[in-house]
């Protein structure tokens, strides 16, 4: 069984979670507007948040000895039902906002992503591509109960595996344990904030583990799942039936039909037919890759 102290720390952070039931519906416009205003104010003031140049340099750190993350097995734990997994994920998950300026106007713009706490004292897991946002002047996180915290530091990051650990000043956070040995075929649920939609959960299975051979992945092992997600979901936790994080949303790879050729009686030129999408591969960083950020080589 998981230790009672871990259970108490992990399960429920916010008493009222937006979207968790009919009496507490999520107000997407209000929630995302609050994050937007908070991160823009952060960018406009010297509040101690890590600035762009320092953050990008910190993303080169491959390991951190500032913390140790424990991995937990589920062999003798009791499976959770759907509502319990939802509340557990939502209590530990965060919205991650960045503020930046483009070269076409003087206004602040913002981006949104997902993440989740892995310690009670403010360490947040998310993707490398979120932490290493090249234009962001400031970055902050907002919890389900509306608290906002500046990102103070990138503790460690790994670009091929697309994982990073951020430090904030948050205290007494609900957090999620990490499991690094969930096999393919295991049922999972994914919690994230897709397309400016606060707190969505989807379910599926681990489809497989695969090496990614793109130039920026360098053979890194990723988990592929059947649960759905969309832009804005980057950094969202993928949980097993016991509430452990087994992976983290990273990217999608749509699969299209090979375009057949067609000819008409009036011409000999072959013309490609319209492609149709057949499926989407949902690529997730593994919990092991997050744990490796804290393990000495």
Give the residue carrying structure tokens 């939802």. Answer: 86
- Predicted confidence at residue 294, as pLDDT, reads 95
> How far is 101 from 61, CA to CA, in rounded Å?
26
Residue 36: exposure state from Cβ atoms within 10 A (0-12, 13-18, ≥19): middle
pLDDT value, residue 262: 47
Cα separation of 228 and 137, whole Å? 31
Torsion, CA 276, CA 185, CA 126, CA 254, rounded to 10: -10
Cα distances (Å, whole numbers) of residue 207 to 173, 183, 224 = 31, 9, 5
Regions of the chain where pLDDT drops below 50: 1-14, 262-268
Domain spanning 27-254+279-292: which CATH class is it, in words?
mainly beta
- State both tokens at 40: 């823009």
pLDDT at 78: 86
3 state DSSP class of 262: strand
CA 148 to chain centre: 17
Q: Order of strands, edge to edge, in the sheet holding 138-143? A: 148-150, 138-143, 93-101, 108-117, 123-126, 163-167, 153-158
H helices present in the chain, as ranges:
4-10, 28-44, 52-58, 82-92, 128-131, 287-292
- What 3-state class would DSSP assign to 89? helix
pLDDT at 265: 47
Report the pLDDT value the prediction gives residue 254, as an integer from 0 to 100: 87
Question: Domain extents for the chain?
Answer: 27-254+279-292
Neighbour count for residue 147 (Cβ, 10 Å) = 16
Bridging pattern class, strands 261-262 and 271-272: antiparallel
DSSP assignment of 178-199? B-S-PPTT-EEEEEE-GGG--S
* pLDDT reported for residue 261: 54
């Amino acid at each position: 069984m998981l230790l009672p102290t871990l259970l108490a720390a992990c399960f429920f952070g916010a008493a009222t979670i937006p979207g968790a039931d009919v009496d507490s519906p999520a107000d997407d416009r209000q929630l995302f507007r609050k994050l937007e205003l908070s991160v823009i104010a952060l960018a406009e003031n010297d509040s101690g948040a890590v600035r762009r140049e320092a953050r990008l340099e910190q993303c080169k750190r491959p390991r951190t000895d500032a913390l140790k993350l424990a991995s937990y097995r589920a062999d003798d734990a009791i499976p959770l039902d759907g509502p319990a997994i939802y509340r557990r994920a939502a209590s530990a998950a965060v919205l991650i906002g960045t503020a930046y300026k483009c070269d076409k106007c003087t206004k602040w713009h913002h981006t949104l992503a997902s993440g989740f706490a892995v310690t009670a004292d403010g360490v947040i897991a998310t993707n490398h591509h979120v932490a290493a946002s090249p234009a962001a002047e400031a970055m902050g996180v907002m919890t389900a109960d509306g608290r906002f915290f500046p990102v103070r530091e990138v503790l460690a990051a790994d670009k091929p595996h697309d994982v990073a650990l951020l430090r904030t000043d948050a205290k007494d956070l609900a957090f999620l344990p990490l499991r690094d040995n969930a096999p393919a075929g295991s049922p999972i649920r994914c919690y994230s904030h897709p397309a400016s939609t606060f707190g969505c959960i989807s379910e599926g299975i681990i489809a497989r583990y695969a090496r990614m051979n793109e130039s920026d992945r360098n053979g890194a092992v990723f988990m592929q799942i059947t649960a759905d997600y969309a832009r804005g979901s980057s950094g969202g936790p993928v949980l097993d039936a016991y509430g452990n994080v087994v992976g983290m949303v990273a990217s999608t790879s749509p699969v299209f039909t090979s375009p057949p050729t067609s000819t008409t009686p009036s011409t000999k030129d072959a013309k490609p037919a319209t492609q149709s999408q057949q499926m989407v591969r949902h690529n997730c960083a593994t919990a092991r890759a997050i744990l490796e950020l804290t393990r000495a080589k």
